[in-house]
Structure formats: C-alpha cells, structure tokens
Structure 1
Amino acid sequence: MELKDIYKIEKITQDELDNVNLLIENGWVILQIGTDEHRYDRLGFPVGSETIFFVAADKPTFEAFNLKLYQQQLEIQAAAQSLADSITSELEATKRIRNRDKSIKVSREYSGDYSTVISDDDLPF
C-alpha cells in the first residue's frame, strides 16, 4: 500500500493485540511498531513502556472491515443468540406444561369417578 492510498490509521496498544491481528487478517497493514514514553511508578522510577501498533487501510478495506463494524456484528450475533436462547427456553416450558396437562388428563381417566357413595346394601356379601 502506498502512502497516498491510506484512508484510515488506527493506533492500538499491546493490550489490544488481538485487534491488531484481526485487522491484519482482514487486509489492514502495519505501518509502524513503536513504544510510548516510559511509564513511571509513584516514586518516579521508570517501569517500562508500552508497545504501540499503527495499522492502516485504504478506503475499500476500511469499508469492508473495521473495528466499529466488527463490534456491531458481535453485538448483533449476541442479541440473536440471546433471542434464540429465550425462544428455546419458552418452547421447552410450553412442552413441559403440555406434558404435565396430558399426564393429569391421563391420570384422571384411569382414576375413574370416586364421588359415588357405596352403601352397605350395594355390597354382595
């Protein structure tokens, strides 16, 4: 990619290395890898620096894949999965209710009607 073709540049820290790999897999290129200034602890001693990645894309690559678009796709997939899970649990609850009602109906059919009172005169002995 030539410098004139760059449409978007992302600055990504080492904590987000997965995003760097994701962008590279989808056509972005690394422009530069560097470090920021040294960080200091509360006593003023240098404790290290953080690696920073600069990745770039031309316009077609950016429009085909970018981190905002990727995040939206993840949210849509999560919402769809949540909806599917809730529909599945509702269907299972409905099946349990139908099976319970069916078993109650069957048990009533086999139990007969015991509301009739039998007197001593009705007994054969």
Structure 2
Amino acid sequence: MNTKQAMTSGLKGAAAIGAWAMMHRLGVSRLSMPTYEGSMLTGTTQGMSTKAAGMGMHLLLSALIAIPYAKALDQEAVPRPIETGLKLGLLHWLIGGMMLPGMDAMNGCVKRGQVPALKVFAGGYGQGRC
C-alpha cells in the first residue's frame, strides 16, 4: 500500500464531497458541513475561521479514512475492485450515518441551539439553519 497515494485519493474524495456540500449555497440543502464541523472546533457558527476549521477537519479525516480503504483493496485479490469499493462505501455510509448523534453530542453549538442536530443519517436535519 502506498500511503501517500491513498491519502491523496482521500483528499480528492474530500474535494468532491466538499463541492457537493457547498450545494447549501444554492438552496439545494441547508446543511453546511464545513460550518457544522468547524463549529465543533471553534464553538461558533460565524466567520471564515469556522468554515476554514471545518474544511481542514474534513480534509484531515478524509486523508486518514483513505488508509484503511487502501489496505482493504490491497488485501483483496482485486479481481473485483468495484465490488470491493461498493462494499467499503456502504460500510462507510453505515458507520458514518450512525456516528452523527455522537458528533451532535460533542458539538457545543448543537447544545446551544445554534446548529440543528444531525441525528442518525442526518434524519433530524432541516429544522433551522446552519
């Protein structure tokens, strides 16, 4: 496994997801993950520093998450890389979606009502604005 290549791939994935996450600006979604994640670090939803902290957190986590993906694909005989990728993606979605309430519990802005709680699979999102 080439760790640098895996982390670079993770950053590319983060950029793609980050672009999708910016759709809140177009009114497609009210969820701003950079603001949500950044508010966990800064304690506020305001300012560029919150969004920058959120993007930094997102990029770091994406680079780190790519390492187990690369290891799993290396261990696979790779006759079916797409099938393996889909299985890993499904597992990532399940774990990530179920971890959101834990993020809510750690986010002081959620506790103060400044940011809506995501809840499981972001099912509680929609009341209020981030």
- The structure whose residues are more often strand, as a share, is 1
Both proteins in one fold, TM over 0.5: no
TM-score by length of 2: 0.25
TM-score by length of 1: 0.26
- The structure whose residues are more often helix, as a share, is 2
